[in-house]
Amino acid sequence: MTSLTYTPPDAGGRPGPFAIPTGLLIGHSWRDSTSGARIEIVNPSTGETLTAVADCGVAEGIAAVDAASAAAADWAATPPRKRADILFACFHAMMAEQEWLAQLISLENGKALSDARGEVAYAAEFFRWYAEEAVRITGEMGIAPGGANRILVQYQPIGVALLITPWNFPAAMATRKIAPALAAGCTCILKPAEETPLTALAVAEILRRAGVPAGVINVINASDPGPVCSAILHDTRVRKLSFTGSTEVGRILLREAADTVVSASMELGGNAPFLVLDDADLDAAIEGAMVAKMRNAGEACTAANRFYVQRGIHDRFVEKLVARMGAMAVGAGCDPATQCGAMINQASIDKIERLVADAIAKGADVRLGGATLERAGFFYPPSVIANVQPGSAILEDEVFGPVAAIIPFDDIEDAIRLANATDYGLAAYVYSADLKNALQIAERIECGMVAVNRGLVSDAAAPFGGMKQSGLGREGSHHGLTEYCEIKYIAVSW
């Protein structure tokens, strides 16, 4: 198959079906790469090739910088209300295409349609949230303590931004960066993950049709992203890098950004602890665990990776979690009956197998699943491994799959110490009926985000980001907008 076309379920008033672009968006037009090279896209639910997208080289990366740079001054000067109107149009355009965008996400990522539908709504919400923020970029005015002058502070667009996104949320990770960049008045170059470029290309076409001016969003894909992104970051017209992906690649990019002192926002890996105290509402904790562990089949940097469960509730928690996870329908992402979709690729399966084998070798008990499914595509079943021993690799490295590793504890001080015994610090979950106790624990956990008595932290209106080696900066909320702003101070005498 070389092109994918989606027909919206009803044609009323909408632009109508279009072939999903597979080229590079540079300026206002889609083009092929000069080398003619293409990247094959695989359907993880079958292992079959879906289509192929243009593979860009350094020259096209710089052409994207040219386009973003040419559009920068006009976009920065576009009145905030006009930018907000365009962002609102993007929100409505994405929501109008929610169903087929969800199908496209399921097709190339393998996630269940229900997860994909949720992702499109979450992704579109960034446009609505930042449409509202675009007209609320204020400044400050103060008087110097000596009284000699006024201190005028302005927020200006930081400039051309390079946005690099991962494959696990191909729509939301892109819009979480594009929307605040555009709201702030920046133009951008999006470099999606090579596993899932189709969603980003479709979203870019939707945004283009919704009225985003030429050059404001450019999209490139690269099978070898290192040299292309390095060249872009070394072009002094580029002033911002926003990256979501592994801590390993984040470190490489921070070094690259250092050469031209580019402002870098980094959303990196996680290793989320999920604490359940004896006094927790068991059913609520199970509901939360299902979301925190099984949303996106565990392929989320916020996914619960280590369940620390207090002894008094431990056995009942394990039993109920096994029952709930064991009842999930595993299957192709696009099958509406599926609750747990495919993993992204064989490397992902290999990593899960390695971590599970290590935990078993060190003394863990497999209570559910624990072995790759023998079928076409990349499927690992919902799995529960209990009694995971200290020193097991799964406690140090995010499994990024549907595997719940459970560790009993007696003393809450031990649980807090274990929760913090990691270089990561993205998300954590705490379940307790004693809100005062839960909030005190939340304050002591070294994570950027803590969910108390709930299994989900993501919200366009909330500051998403990590401590320690989980990242720098925040996305979403007003804080996400300021990542794309430069603070300008003007000393004024009058």
User: Cβ contacts of residue 114 below 8 Å, gap of 6+?
Assistant: 339
Stretches 139-147, 179-187, 191-199, 273-281: which one binds ligand ADP (CB under 6 A)? 191-199
Stretches 121-129, 212-220, 222-230, 304-312: which one binds ligand ADP (CB under 6 A)? 222-230
CB of 320 to ligand ADP, least distance (A): 31
Span 234-273, contacts to ligand ADP by CB under 6 A: 245-246, 249, 252-253
Under the binding rule (CB under 6 A), the answer on residue 347 touching ligand ADP is: no
**CA 400 and chain centroid, separation:** 13
Which of 229, 416, 428, 450 forms a contact with ligand ADP (CB under 6 A)? 229
Nearer to ligand ADP, 175 or 482 (CB): 175
Nearer to ligand ADP, 38 or 191 (CB): 191
Catalytic residue among 56, 186, 188, 301: 301
Under the binding rule (CB under 6 A), the answer on residue 418 touching ligand ADP is: no
Which of 94, 102, 174, 193 forms a contact with ligand ADP (CB under 6 A)? 193
Site string for ligand ADP, 396-415 (x = CB under 6 A): --------------------
Distance CA 41, CA 48 (A): 9
Q: Is 301 labeled as catalytic in the residue annotation?
A: yes
Output the residue with the shortest Cβ distance to ligand ADP. 245
Nearer to ligand ADP, 133 or 256 (CB): 256
Catalytic residue among 125, 205, 256, 267: 267
Secondary structure of the chain in HEC code, one letter for each residue? CCCCEECCCCCCCCCCCEECCCCEEECCEEECCCCCCEEEEEECCCCEEEEEEECCCHHHHHHHHHHHHHHHHHHHHCCHHHHHHHHHHHHHHHHHCHHHHHHHHHHHHCCCHHHHHHHHHHHHHHHHHHHHHHCCCCCEEEECCCCCCEEEEEEEECCEEEEECCCCCCCHHHHHHHHHHHHHCCCEEEECCCCCHHHHHHHHHHHHHCCCCCCCEEECCCCCHHHHHHHHHCCCCEEEEEEECCHHHHHHHHHHHHHCCCEEEEECCCCEEEEECCCCCHHHHHHHHHHHHHHHHHCCCCCEEEEEEEHHHHHHHHHHHHHHHHCCCECCCCCCCCCECCCCCHHHHHHHHHHHHHHHHCCCEEEECCCCCCCCCCCCCCEEEECCCCCCHHHCCCCCCCEEEEEEECCHHHHHHHHHCCCCCCEEEEECCCHHHHHHHHHHCCCCEEEECCCCCCCCCCCECCCHHHEECCECHHHHHHCCEEEEEEEECC
CB of 165 to ligand ADP, least distance (A): 6
Under the binding rule (CB under 6 A), the answer on residue 164 touching ligand ADP is: yes
Under the binding rule (CB under 6 A), the answer on residue 364 touching ligand ADP is: no
Nearer to ligand ADP, 25 or 289 (CB): 25
Stretches 48-56, 186-194, 272-280, 390-398: which one binds ligand ADP (CB under 6 A)? 186-194
CA torsion sign, 228 to 231 to 237 to 243?
positive
Stretches 45-53, 58-66, 165-173, 370-378: which one binds ligand ADP (CB under 6 A)? 165-173
CB of 56 to ligand ADP, least distance (A): 12
Under the binding rule (CB under 6 A), the answer on residue 388 touching ligand ADP is: no
CB of 269 to ligand ADP, least distance (A): 8
Residue type, 126: F
Stretches 35-43, 160-168, 309-317, 335-343: which one binds ligand ADP (CB under 6 A)? 160-168
Residue 459 tokens read as: 């919200």
Q: Is 443 labeled as catalytic in the residue annotation?
A: no
CB of 194 to ligand ADP, least distance (A): 5
Under the binding rule (CB under 6 A), the answer on residue 159 touching ligand ADP is: no
The answer to whether residues 298 and 405 touch, using CB atoms and an 8 Å cutoff, is no
Under the binding rule (CB under 6 A), the answer on residue 165 touching ligand ADP is: yes
Stretches 1-9, 55-63, 164-172, 328-336: which one binds ligand ADP (CB under 6 A)? 164-172
Which of 85, 99, 194, 287 forms a contact with ligand ADP (CB under 6 A)? 194
Total residues at interface with ligand ADP (CB under 6 A): 15
CB of 246 to ligand ADP, least distance (A): 3
Under the binding rule (CB under 6 A), the answer on residue 225 touching ligand ADP is: yes
Distance CA 480, CA 471 (A): 13
CB of 402 to ligand ADP, least distance (A): 16
Nearer to ligand ADP, 217 or 249 (CB): 249
Angle 98-109/197-209 helices, nearest 10 degrees? Answer: 160
CB of 167 to ligand ADP, least distance (A): 6
Give the side-chain half-sphere CA count within 13 A for 308.
25
Nearer to ligand ADP, 232 or 330 (CB): 232
Task: Give catalytic residue positions.
Answer: 267, 301
Q: Which residues bind ligand ADP (CB under 6 A)?
A: 164-167, 191, 193-194, 225-226, 229, 245-246, 249, 252-253
